[in-house]
Amino acid sequence: MEEETIARLTLTDEYAYHIGQIASVTTTALKVVKKQLSFKEPYTLEIIPASAIARVDYKKGLVPLRIVFGALLLMLLAGIAYYAMIYWDRLELPRSVKITPFVLAGIYGMSLVFMSRQHKLIFDLHDGRRVIWRSRSGDFKIKEKAVSNVLKYFRTRGLFTSNDFQ
């Protein structure tokens, strides 16, 4: 049987964010990112055969820590703007404020609050180990097709039985 790629969940330049997680799923194996002590090749892929997979589970949800951080950042920016308006006449001349950093921080805070969703694939192996892959919070829509392909493949093999994912 020839190996066919089901989905690439992690790109090569994203390996630093996904150490110990799945890089890609093929018909014959899972490829997991491992760190190695080398400057030339800092990451290697561990191959886990598909026959070692006992069960596949999927969860999607919010990342509460990022949402809280984004809300705190937005509250801080609102507080700075409020006090700047109240005490504007007490500031020394010249009264110029560069607003670009505040606008960029506001955009970043809004993206954290409203774009903090992630996919989570959990692979239970026959030897009791568990291999997990989590998407980065801004990649929810981008990775949706890859996750769908993985779940369809494992549903046909009978390893994914949940009906939560269409």
If you write DSSP's letter for every residue of 41-96 in order, what string do you get? --EEEEEEEGGGEEEEEEEEEE-HHHHHHHHHHHHHHHHHHHHHHHTGGGSPSS--
What proportion of the chain, given as a percentage, has pLDDT over 70? 96
The pLDDT of residue 132 is 92
The pLDDT of residue 165 is 54
Two tokens, residue 15: 């390996």
54 has pLDDT over 90: yes
CA distance 96 to 88: 10
Q: Give the lowest-confidence range in 64-73, 100-109, 157-166.
A: 157-166
129 has pLDDT over 80: yes
Mean pLDDT of 7-13: 90
Any idea which residue has 């009906």 for tokens? 163
Average pLDDT, the chain: 89
The pLDDT of residue 97 is 80
The pLDDT of residue 31 is 94
Mean pLDDT of 137-163: 87
Amino acid at 119: H
Find, among 102, 108, 104, 101, the residue nearest to 137 by Cα. 108
Higher pLDDT: 69 or 162? It is 69
The pLDDT of residue 164 is 59
Contacts of 109 (CB under 8 A, 6+ apart): 70, 71, 73, 74, 77
Torsion of CA 137, 141, 147, 151, to 10 degrees: 120
Q: How confident is the model at residue 138 (pLDDT cuts 50, 70, 90)?
A: confident
The CATH classification number of 5-62+116-156 equals 2.30.29
Mean pLDDT of 33-45: 87
The pLDDT of residue 67 is 93
Q: Give exposure, 23-44, as e/b (b: 16+ Cβ within 10 Å).
A: bbbbeebbbbbeeeeeeeeeee
Backbone angles phi, psi at 120, to 5 degrees: -145, 115
